[in-house]
């Protein structure tokens, strides 16, 4: 994967069923990539599970980032330690991070 990204290929992650990810969690999916490719920047890995997926689905004008006029669906992640803006992507992908809230279409679900 790191060679593809280094070569300019836009890589996107997703879950396609319980056979590939027993939790269907995108957070667990990007954490797995982090473990397998530790030299890739955490921000790059995080983007493969957010904006890159939206681009692949040709929906980047609506999904993938939190901006005005986008559909607000996101998870709230507890990094397991005090948040550090300088290390936010590393903290999100750390083994101790966990999802503590879900917002879908602008409404809190969990």
pLDDT tens column, 69-84: 777 788 899 999 999 9
**What tokens does 34 get?**
């982090």
Does the model's pTM come out above 0.75?
A: yes
Q: Identify the domain containing residue 18 by its residue range.
A: 2-108
Q: Mean pLDDT, the chain, as a whole number? A: 87
Residue pair 72/46 in contact (Cβ under 8 Å)? The answer is no
Query: H or E element: which one contains 47?
Result: helix 42-48
pLDDT at position 53, please?
Answer: 85
Work out how many domains the chain is built from and give that number.
1
């Amino acid at each position: 994967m790191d060679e593809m990204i280094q070569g300019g290929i836009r890589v996107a992650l997703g879950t396609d069923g319980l056979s590939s990810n027993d939790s269907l969690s995108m957070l667990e999916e990007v954490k797995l990539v982090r473990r397998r490719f530790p030299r890739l920047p955490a921000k790059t890995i995080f983007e493969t599970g957010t904006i890159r997926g939206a681009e692949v689905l040709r929906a980047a004008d609506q999904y993938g980032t939190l901006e005005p006029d986008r559909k607000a669906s996101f998870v709230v992640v507890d990094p397991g330690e005090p948040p550090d803006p300088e290390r936010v992507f590393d903290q999100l992908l750390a083994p101790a991070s966990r999802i503590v809230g879900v917002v879908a279409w602008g409404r809190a679900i969990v």
